[in-house]
């Protein structure tokens, strides 16, 4: 693939803008760790929410959606659309608590919620496990995805593609190390709109090309199964070239278990990772809640349809691609339909998607390593002062180097994805209940963190189980284990629990720590209605837009009405929940 001068100019301008932002915010980021890792807790809802959306838009995301859609039509997206249920749970039940806790990282919460040596061990372990090991795996698969794109787009060898990935990562690490989270978030906003603009332009050009013939031509050329919005439940095989067909067990795993049971980056039950980081960076609880609500709606309603349209067009344009190669149809469409100038723009769009994810992972990972390991166990007298900022910047660069090394060792993106989601199965319920049930202790979370690895190995290698049976086995074994451990180990001390309760003021089972004179009713029923109505609203908007695009207007009207009713119910429920009241103490 040959790029014209105008294409290279666009790419160069983009890199200059990214580095300029890093230089602009470097002084502000250097004040202390709160400024470096949380932007001084100054983010409004739009900045925090857009940064979340940009981070989840990686270089491999359009390719992954193309593969799902090319193999199983629109219904294939339910493999990730199901995460909305857990994401909205975070919005209404946890966002305000993360901001109220005033911790610097998710891992720091451990020693606010728990006490003693078990809590210290768990904090140190998770700082290394999440900040180093898991973070390098995630960055590695994102690097591999960008390398795959460059191989097809430019006809490069795998080694040549990795060299270009390394150059992009060096630039990303540079502005991340300079500017901290504030610069990362501002860059995220620019990167997100560039990435979405590029994807929308590609979708318009591809769909309206002579080979596709617009929406009408696309619909007439596609098999009927490709336009199904919902999967079918059956015991048959789920072959490529059919609508997504899942077993009853898989359906239950996705809709009833996975969203609360599994730890997964960006979809952690109870919040966590970079999502928690953005919630904690908000200027107040209201902005934290609205940022998370906006993130969920934008993530599921704004982003998918340009990718889906290209994915459906690839069924028509590249019918000979095999099931494992269909993800490359997106890159082939870029090569075939973009004129000079727009090739550079869309390549910048992919670089923007890549860099927004990598910059967040570098900043987030180094926050754990510096705040929760170095600051907690090495330089214990310098927590959150500016002496740790140079260490944070150096750690960002070290993470970059280690991640590049890990990239060379990864052979399969899907293999990493499968490992992460199954080895976090069963942990989610502890991460949820630690906010709402005083009896959860450090040993509960230690058990729920460790047992999935044992259960995963047992189910997959000794019992030869396959998904969803392997998933249910891991969740069941983990849940049973941590419940038993919770009741045979002592609870956290009253001093620890009182400190946590006074700081966070959670609802739920905390009666013994509440002011007995407080008669405020529990807000959980209203929050539950808010959650369900917001999930319904988001799915309704998602399907409304899709039905409008494909000219199914009568069905679009039904989804539109459902969305409006859900919005009305959501508005009423949020008012009754006193979601933004920071003074009332809940009661049960």
217-257 tens-digit pLDDT: 999 898 888 888 887 766 555 555 455 556 666 666 666 77
**Residues 471, 259 contacting (CB under 8 angstroms):** no
Please name the residue that has the structure tokens 């074994």. 477
Number of domains in the chain: 3
* Burial grade of 501 (CB within 10 A; 0-12, 13-18, 19 or more): middle
Please name the residue that has the structure tokens 């799915």. 539
We report the CATH number of the domain holding residue 342 as 1.20.1730.10
Q: In this predicted structure, what is the pLDDT of residue 424?
A: 73
What is the three-class DSSP state of 246?
Answer: strand
What is the three-class DSSP state of 239?
Answer: coil
Q: Is residue 222 part of a domain?
A: yes
Cβ neighbours around 275 below 10 Å, total: 29
Q: In this predicted structure, what is the pLDDT of residue 282?
A: 93
d(CA 428, CA 439): 16
d(CA 269, CA 87): 8
d(CA 327, CA 325): 5
Residues 556 and 503 in one domain: no
Q: Is residue 245 part of a domain?
A: no
Residues 572 and 450 in one domain: no
Residues 171 and 221 in one domain: yes
* Burial grade of 469 (CB within 10 A; 0-12, 13-18, 19 or more): middle
d(CA 218, CA 521): 54
pLDDT tens digits, 50-84: 999 988 887 778 888 888 888 888 888 887 888 89
Residues 395 and 479 in one domain: no
d(CA 148, CA 64): 12
Q: Is residue 32 part of a domain?
A: yes
Q: Is residue 416 part of a domain?
A: no
Q: In this predicted structure, what is the pLDDT of residue 272?
A: 80
Q: In this predicted structure, what is the pLDDT of residue 518?
A: 63
Residues 471 and 526 in one domain: no
Domain that holds residue 361: 5-228+264-379+389-406
Residues 358 and 449 in one domain: no
Residues 306 and 433 in one domain: no
Residues 497 and 545 in one domain: no
What is the three-class DSSP state of 271?
Answer: coil
Cis peptide, bond prior to residue 243, ω within 30 of zero: no
Residues 179 and 316 in one domain: yes
Domain boundary among 476, 507, 538: 507
**Residues 89, 531 contacting (CB under 8 angstroms):** yes
Q: Is residue 255 part of a domain?
A: no
Residue 448's H or E segment, with its range, is helix 442-457
Q: Is residue 251 part of a domain?
A: no
What is the three-class DSSP state of 245?
Answer: strand
**Residues 544, 556 contacting (CB under 8 angstroms):** yes
**Residues 26, 184 contacting (CB under 8 angstroms):** no
Residues 192 and 338 in one domain: yes
d(CA 396, CA 535): 36
**Residues 324, 24 contacting (CB under 8 angstroms):** no
Q: Which of 426, 423, 424 is nearest to 472 (CA)?
A: 426
H, E, C per residue of 499-555: HHHHHHCCCCECHHHCCCCCCCCCCHHHHHHHHHHHHHHHHHHHHHHHHHHCCCHHH
The first and second tokens of residue 586, run together, are: 């809940």
Q: Is residue 472 part of a domain?
A: yes
Q: Is residue 254 part of a domain?
A: no
Residue 51's H or E segment, with its range, is helix 45-56
The first and second tokens of residue 410, run together, are: 């990864």
Domain boundary among 460, 485, 507: 507
Q: Using N-to-C axis directions, what is the helix angle for 524-549 and 84-93, rounded to 10°?
A: 140
Q: In this predicted structure, what is the pLDDT of residue 411?
A: 63
Q: In this predicted structure, what is the pLDDT of residue 21?
A: 80
Residues 269 and 144 in one domain: yes
**Residues 113, 289 contacting (CB under 8 angstroms):** no
pTM: 0.88
Ranges of residues in the chain whose predicted pLDDT is under 70 = 1-3, 233-255, 266, 323-324, 380-385, 410-422, 467, 515-521, 578-588
Q: How far apart are the first and last CA of the chain?
A: 64
**Residues 104, 363 contacting (CB under 8 angstroms):** no
d(CA 53, CA 272): 15
Q: In this predicted structure, what is the pLDDT of residue 585?
A: 41
Q: What is the largest CA-CA distance in the chain?
A: 74
Residues 71 and 192 in one domain: yes
Domain boundary among 491, 507, 523: 507
């Amino acid at each position: 693939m040959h790029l014209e001068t105008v294409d290279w100019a666009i790419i160069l301008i983009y890199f200059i803008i990214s580095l300029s932002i890093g230089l602009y915010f470097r002084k502000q980021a250097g004040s202390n760790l709160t400024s470096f890792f949380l932007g001084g807790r100054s983010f409004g809802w739009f900045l925090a929410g857009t940064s979340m959306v940009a981070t989840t838009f990686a270089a491999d995301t359009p390719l992954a959606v193309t593969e799902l859609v090319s193999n199983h039509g629109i219904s294939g997206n339910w493999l990730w659309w199901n995460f909305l249920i857990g994401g909205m749970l975070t919005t209404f039940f946890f966002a305000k608590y993360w901001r109220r806790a005033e911790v610097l990282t998710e891992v720091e919460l451990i020693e606010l919620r728990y006490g003693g040596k078990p809590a210290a061990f768990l904090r140190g372990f998770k700082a290394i496990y999440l900040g180093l090991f898991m973070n390098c795996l995630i960055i590695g698969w994102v690097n591999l995805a960008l390398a795959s794109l460059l191989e097809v787009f430019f006809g490069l060898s795998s080694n040549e593609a990795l060299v270009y990935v390394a150059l992009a990562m060096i630039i990303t690490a540079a502005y991340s190390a300079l500017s901290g989270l504030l610069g990362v978030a501002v860059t995220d906003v620019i990167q997100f709109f560039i990435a979405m603009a590029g994807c929308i332009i590609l979708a318009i050009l591809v769909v309206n090309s002579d080979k596709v013939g617009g929406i009408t031509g696309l619909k007439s050329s596609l098999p009927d199964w490709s336009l199904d919005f919902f999967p079918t439940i059956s015991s048959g095989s789920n072959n490529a070239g059919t609508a997504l067909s899942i077993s009853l067990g898989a359906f239950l795993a996705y809709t009833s278990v996975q969203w609360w049971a599994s730890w997964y980056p960006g979809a952690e039950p109870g919040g966590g990772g970079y999502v928690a980081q953005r919630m904690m960076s908000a200027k107040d609880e209201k902005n934290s809640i609205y940022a998370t609500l906006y993130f969920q709606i934008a993530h599921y309603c704004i982003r998918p349809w340009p990718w889906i349209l290209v994915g459906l067009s690839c069924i028509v344009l590249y019918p000979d691609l095999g099931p494992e190669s269909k993800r490359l149809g997106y890159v082939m469409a870029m090569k075939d339909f973009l004129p000079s100038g727009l090739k550079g723009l869309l390549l910048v769009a992919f670089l923007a998607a890549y860099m927004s994810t990598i910059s967040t992972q570098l900043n987030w990972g180094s926050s754990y390593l510096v705040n929760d390991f170095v600051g907690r166990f090495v330089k214990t007298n310098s927590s959150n002062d500016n002496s740790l900022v140079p260490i944070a910047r150096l750690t960002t660069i070290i993470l970059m180097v280690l991640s590049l090394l890990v990239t060379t060792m990864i052979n399969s993106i899907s293999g990493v994805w499968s490992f992460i989601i199954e080895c976090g199965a069963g942990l989610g319920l502890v991460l949820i209940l630690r906010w709402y049930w005083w009896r959860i202790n450090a040993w509960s979370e230690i058990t729920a963190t460790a047992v999935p690895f044992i259960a995963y190995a047992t189910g997959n290698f000794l019992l030869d189980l396959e998904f969803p049976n392997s998933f249910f086995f891991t969740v069941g074994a983990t849940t049973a284990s941590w419940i038993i451990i919770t009741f045979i180990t002592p609870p956290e001390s009253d001093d620890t629990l009182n400190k946590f309760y006074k700081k966070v003021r959670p609802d739920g089972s905390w009666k013994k720590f509440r002011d007995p004179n407080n008669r405020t009713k529990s807000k959980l029923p209203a929050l539950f209605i808010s959650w369900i109505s917001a999930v319904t609203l988001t799915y309704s908007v998602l399907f409304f837009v899709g039905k409008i695009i494909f000219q199914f207007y009568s069905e679009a009207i039904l989804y539109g009405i459902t969305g409006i009713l859900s919005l009305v119910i959501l508005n009423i429920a949020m008012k009754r929940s006193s979601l933004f009241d920071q003074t009332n103490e809940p009661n049960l």
